[in-house]
Chains A and B, each alone.
Chain A
Amino acid sequence: MDVGKYDLNDTEILQFDPQQTELALTTKDLQVYYGKNHAFYDGSLQFERYKITSLIGASGSGKSTFLRSLNRMNDGVARVTGQIWYRGLDVNSPQINVYQMRKQIGMVFQRPNPFSKSIRDNITFAVRENGIKEQKKLDEIVETSLKQAALWDEVKDDLNKSALSLSGGQQQRLCIARAIAMQPDILLMDEPASALDPISTLKVEETMMELKKNYTIIIVTHNMQQASRVSDYTAFFHLGHVIEYAQTKNIFTFPQKRATDDYVSGNFG
């Protein structure tokens, strides 16, 4: 199968009616360049609030690049043009305070990356830096975020243990807890389960289903089963273009584009 022969400009993008649907984040004409290399083209996507949206596609399709642009983690790495609308503000403009913005749009990475501190300090790190010092309040935050990340029962007796002594799956849920300790609006997850075994993956997925009651989640995944299990909407990325964006069940059962069809049925990638 010759991958290059799809028409990359023939796309099918779901549009919400902002009157009917509450949108958490909207991108408009987002382009990403690594030096001269144009890595992502013209992404205009809307993300519904309190839903999980998956970004799928082969390696190098630009989905992680797109995701990392959403909370400006590509600053200094790549040049991002276009707009990212969040609460009526374009967060991709220079006058935005990126540090405050990232507290609203949190991120969980592919590899579990807890700091080499205790479990408690991992969670309180950002909260303390944000000015909350009161011990009772901190304890409360530690407990609620660990509970939301479905890790509380496993670690509650050992909060002073090094985070690095946890298993990979626990570490990843700790990273989720750390991200939600800041009570962000939106959680970006960059292949959060790709370094985990199936059981840990399942736990992380259960955590995500629980989290979507309070958070909007955008997740990059290589695992199509995962996308179909957890997400409400799915966007298919190919060679730096968004080819198709629709409800997850439609993407997997009635893909509109040939590239999507070939990808979800395993003909390439």
Chain B
Amino acid sequence: MDPIKTKIQTRSKETRQEIWGQLLSYAAIILIVAVVCSIFMFVASKGLATFTKDHASLRDFLFTTDWSPTTMGKDGRPLVGALPMIAGSFGVTVLAVIFATPFALGTALYMTQLAGKHGQKLLQSVTELLVGIPSVVYGFIGLNVVVPFVREHFGGSGYGILSGAFVLFVMVLPTITSLTVDSLRAVPSHYQAASLALGATEWQTMYKVTLRAALPGILTAIVFGMARAFGEALAVQMVIGNATLMPHGLLTASSTLTSVLTMGIGNTVMGTVGNNALWSLALVLLLMSLLFNLVVKWIGRKGRI
């Protein structure tokens, strides 16, 4: 028998490695998919129980403002009006991102287009540092600095959506900045060269060419910032006042989905209507983060050249 012929027909170390590697990666994928699916299923089954088992109405949940799950309304259904929390969550998120985006854009433009090596390094480490600060520290600073500041300069008790937005502003700033930096760096330098060669100034080039080319990346950065703001619990909870009332302005005490969740989940008993209602809030959060992800995907597809 020809030894080469035998060799190429039998399994060797390489084929076994190949199979083993494939098995490992498939196992990892299956595990991750299983974890994600079970999280969704778990939260969904708990969250939907409010409506199936406890007979709360979905319409009440989304559009009314009475949050008192353990008491029954006139129609015999539990009062699970989550609109105040939904409004609070959106309020702090949108405001924080509106505050943060201009600063993030400016910082990112400075870092990529204007700063020298040292400036870049310095700002890079500053933004990285901001990411690393634990949220309880942000909350604590918010409590001691932002709340009195808002009380003195804007009025009210100082607790409310505005304070939450200020704290979140600092927290989402590094997220938006660093993703914007990445997308600005990805703009091919020949775009800038072409623009400058046409006699455009640095500013015109930055504003009309570089920023435009990086726009999909910047939008993605903003959506990621929103996702971060929407999901933040502790720091917001410390400054927002935690009243499950419909916010009447930016300065009255209100609450977010996350703050009600963290405050309440330890004080309710598994399987009761109060507990299930909190799971419904968690389901809303989960669906929102799914939505943010889909938006990012969609922007990515739109922006591809």
Contacts and interface: CB of A to CB of B under 8 A. Distances in A.
A99 B199 contact: yes
Contacts of A106: 197-199
Contacts of A71: 197
B200 interface: yes
Interface string A88-114: 000000000001111100110101011
A111 B194 CA distance: 10
Contacts of A111: 190
B197 A179 contact: yes
B212 interface: yes
Given A116-B212, A116-B305, A102 B194 contact: no
B204 interface: yes
A142 to B, nearest CB: 15
B209 A102 contact: no
Central interface residue in A101, A102, A113, by most chain B CB within 10 Å: A113
B3 to A, nearest CB: 49
Contact of A115 (B191, B199, B201, B204): B191
Contacts of B204: 129
Contacts of A129: 200, 204, 208
A107 B197 CA distance: 6
B35 interface: no
Interface string B167-207: 00000000000000000000010110111111111001000
Contacts of A178: 194, 198
Contacts of B188: 113
Nearest to B197: A107
B199 A103 contact: yes
Nearest to A104: B199
B197 A102 contact: yes
Contacts of B190: 109, 111, 113
A8 interface: no
B213 A102 contact: no
A73 interface: yes
Interface residues of A, number: 25
A102 B193 contact: no
Given A102-B197, A109-B190, A111-B190, A125 B212 contact: no
Contacts of B193: 73, 109, 113
Interface residues of B, number: 18
A116 B305 CA distance: 8
A73 to B, nearest CB: 6
B200 A116 contact: no
A126 B196 contact: no
Contacts of A73: 193, 196-197
Contacts of A103: 198-199
A175 B199 contact: no
Contacts of A107: 197
A111 B200 CA distance: 19
Contact of A182 (B194, B198, B212): B198
Contacts of B196: 73, 102
A159 interface: no
B60 to A, nearest CB: 48
Contact of B194 (A115, A130, A164): A115
B269 to A, nearest CB: 57
Contacts of B198: 102-103, 106, 125-126, 178-179, 182
B199 A182 contact: yes
A103 B195 CA distance: 11
B203 to A, nearest CB: 10
A109 B194 CA distance: 8
Given A107-B197, A126-B198, 8 more contacts: A73-B196, A73-B197, A99-B200, A102-B198, A103-B198, A103-B199, A113-B193, A182-B198
17 contacts: A73-B197, A101-B199, A102-B197, A102-B199, A106-B198, A109-B190, A113-B188, A113-B193, A113-B194, A115-B195, A125-B208, A129-B200, A129-B204, A130-B199, A164-B305, A178-B198, A179-B197
Q: Which 4 A-B residue pairings sit nearest by Cβ, starting from the closest?
A: A103-B199, A107-B197, A126-B198, A102-B199
Interface of A: 71, 73, 99-103, 106-107, 109, 111, 113-117, 125-126, 129-130, 164, 175, 178-179, 182
Interface of B: 188, 190-191, 193-201, 204, 208-209, 212-213, 305
